[in-house]
Amino acid sequence: MINLENSVGIVETKFFTIDEELELESGEKFGPVQVAYETYGALNENKDNAILLLHALTGDAHAAGYNSENDRKPGWWDDMVGSGKAFDTDKYFVISSNMLGGCSGTTGPCSINPQTGKPYGLSFPVITIEDAVKVQKKLVDFLGVKKLIVAGGSMGGMQALEWSITHSDMVDAVIIIASTSRLTAQGIAFNAVGRNAILSDPYFNNGDYYDSDNQPEKGLSIARMIGHITYLCEESMHSKFGRRFKNEIDGKEHPNFDFGIDFQVESYLAHQGQTFVDRFDANSYLYITKAVDYFDLAHKHESLENAFKKTNARFLVISFTSDWLFPTSQSKEIVQALIKAGRDVSFCEIESPCGHDAFLLEFETQTKIVKSFLSKSFGGANV
């Protein structure tokens, strides 16, 4: 039985359809688009107390609460969303949606192409963060929101940055956590290796595997293992696993002397890879990681400072000491560009041994910082 105490409770994932064709950043036109979303709290009469939560790479619309009494765990940011929490549902109308190209209810490569009656597969158009924001804007308009706070960690932070520039007339405040304005060459390289693992899987079949008994599970599992390494850090991996072996003989850890799973860290990564295969689509992984690779505000606007001259929002930027995927130096680059552009920005680096995943785990410290920022932004946004 699930524990509904201190939770938003049982929530329903809803669906909104954009019937028109959207012009993507590539110039291609695409539609219709179904959007999966959830909401928590109530929109006030002025329709200006909304917060849009933007998920990380493999997230979904289910940010808080439970979809049913049979759920094993709550939404991905449950500790941050609810009554009295960072994103206080007594004050705010909180929205979370699945990204374009995803596989959790929003149109993506595993969705049925209405023209063929079959999944899009690799005929799905290449998308960008800007395209994802364009879809989110349609959803927000449908919900009647007039003013908005945007908040996200990792890839969600990228979307929040794009929101602040593209829809500056609507966005009053922006919260960027463990994110960046552009991936480094190293970050792109990790994504490229993950994509190549999928593309090289013997069952990938050029993305047309949905009706097959064999799925590209091995490639997707390897891609997840590669990605998961970047979400942790040396300190957390040493603390959890060290060099400990998985097997014991006579009460002592002992190597297998073969090429199977030998160390505990190998067992952990194998588990992460398999559980990921059970919930995510290989094609979606290709499309979404490519969208992240393409994101580069400085290139798009000639400089980061120029990009932020187009926004009117207040900013909160949070980084974590052990995050080597999106290190504090990249957050500081955002902060410095915002200052040069004359924007109001607050910055905090949180001490944490959790690596990049800290934005999902260090909720107590984040709650204090976010609450303070939001209260100064809108006086609590009375409902």
Write the CATH number for 225: 1.10.1740.110
pLDDT tens track for 13-63: 999 999 999 999 999 999 999 999 999 999 999 999 999 999 999 999 999
- Does one domain contain both 271 and 248? yes
Encode pLDDT of 175-189 as tens digits.
999 999 999 999 999
Q: Which pLDDT score, from 0 to 100, does residue 247 have?
A: 86
Smallest Cα–Cα separation from 189: which of 273, 333, 284, 289? 289
- Average the pLDDT over 141-154 and give the result: 98
Same domain, 42 and 170: yes
- Where residue 79 sits, what CATH number does that domain have? 3.40.50.1820
- Residue 62: domain span: 14-182+296-378
Residue 66 lies in a domain: yes
Cβ–Cβ under 8 Å, residues 201 and 216: yes
196 and 175, same domain (yes or no): no
How much is the average pLDDT of 55-77? Answer: 95
- Domain presence at residue 172: yes
1 confidence band (pLDDT: 50, 70, 90)? low
Rounded mean pLDDT of the chain?
95
Based on the fold, state whether residues 178 and 241 are members of the same structural domain.
no
Q: Is the pLDDT of residue 161 over 60?
A: yes
Q: Helix, strand or coil for residue 22?
A: strand
| Shared-domain flag, residues 320 and 177 | yes
- The pLDDT score that the predictor gives to residue 12 is 96
Q: List the Cα angle 212/100/36 in 5-degree steps.
A: 90
If pLDDT is split at 50, 70 and 90, which confidence band does 6 have? confident
- Shared-domain flag, residues 69 and 118: yes
State the Cα–Cα distance between residues 114 and 109, nearest whole angstrom: 12
Query: What's the pLDDT score for residue 251?
Result: 77
Of the candidates 85, 90, 34, the one whose C-alpha atom is nearest the C-alpha of residue 64 is: 85
Predicted TM-score of the model (pTM): 0.95
Q: Confirm whether 5 is domain-assigned.
A: no
Indicate whether 130 and 235 sit together in one domain: no
Per the document, the length of the chain is 383
Residues assigned a catalytic role: 154, 323, 356
Give yes or no for residue 111 having a pLDDT over 90.
yes
| 295 contacts 158 by C-beta, under 8 angstroms | yes
The Cα 122–Cα 291 span in angstroms is: 15
Q: Looking at 285, 310, 342, which one is the last position of a domain?
A: 285
- pLDDT tens-digit series, residues 221-238: 999 999 999 999 998 899
Last residue of a domain, one of 228, 263, 285: 285
Residue 6 covered by a domain: no
Q: Between 174 and 235, name the one with better pLDDT.
A: 174
Same domain, residue pair 171 and 48: yes
230: its two tokens: 């970047």
Per-residue model confidence as pLDDT tens digits over 339-383: 999 999 999 999 999 999 999 999 999 999 999 999 986 644 444
User: Does residue 22 form part of some domain?
Assistant: yes
Per-residue burial over 87-115, b = 16 or more CB atoms within 10 Å of its CB, e = otherwise: bbbebbbbbbbbbbbbbbbbbbbbbeeee
pLDDT mean over 123-129: 98
In this structure, is residue 55 part of a structural domain?
yes
**Same-domain check for residues 160 and 90:** yes
Pair 75, 149 in one domain: yes
Using the predicted structure, report yes or no on whether residue 153 has a pLDDT greater than 80: yes
294 or 235, greater pLDDT: 294
Tally of domains within the chain: 2
Domain boundary among 225, 253, 285: 285
The verdict on residue 1 lying in a domain is: no
Q: pLDDT tens across 203-217, in order?
A: 999 999 999 999 999
| pLDDT the model gives residue 378 | 60
**Both tokens of residue 339?**
């200052």
202 and 138 within one domain: no
Note whether 108 and 212 are same-domain residues: no
- Is residue 310 one of the residues assigned to a domain? yes
